[in-house]
Amino acid sequence: MEEKVFDLNEPLGLAQFCVSTLDKKNASDIKLFKVDEQTIIADYYVICSGRSTTHVNALSDEVEYQAGEKGVQMLRVDGRGTGTWVLMDYGSVLVHIFTKDQRDFYKLEKLYNEENEIDIKELLTGFGESKDSEG
């Protein structure tokens, strides 16, 4: 399988890289939203869930490590102490990694409409194996 190449100098490329990295570490229910018209904080939000606080922390560690290997430094991180909601700030991209309970409680993705969500199927390792895929 061919490795996807992302332009990490562009906000969308960085967001897609984060999605792909999270998927490879078995994050669940990954969503990508274009939020630049709703907030000045970032251009994209990546939202996902981990199975436990340990998994949430491992997911955030992996994103930070993989991005760092590509020369992209995180500006700040919050929530690693509890591991129930880790927020990673990459400037134009915010990565939110939740436990399922925290995600269900905050319902962050409910703030955005379907038209804000970006289709990420081709970035996921299981793409093509899903019963939802055509062909």
DSSP three-state, residue 79:
coil
Contact call for residues 106 and 98 (beta carbons, < 8 A): yes
pLDDT value of position 130: 35
Mean pLDDT of 9-14: 96
What are the strands of the beta sheet with 28-34, ordered from one edge? 28-34, 44-50, 93-99, 85-89, 76-78
Q: Is 50 exceeded by the pLDDT of residue 131?
A: no
| Structure confidence by residue, pLDDT tens digits, 23-78 | 999 999 999 999 999 999 999 999 999 999 999 999 999 999 999 999 999 999 99
| Structure confidence by residue, pLDDT tens digits, 92-118 | 999 999 999 999 999 998 988 888 999
pLDDT value of position 63: 98
35 to 25, 87, 126: CA distances (angstroms):
25, 16, 26
How many CB atoms sit inside 10 A of residue 60's CB? 23
DSSP three-state, residue 86:
strand
Query: pLDDT: is 44 or 125 the higher one?
Result: 44
Q: pLDDT band at 81, cuts 50/70/90? A: confident
pLDDT value of position 114: 85
pLDDT value of position 127: 56
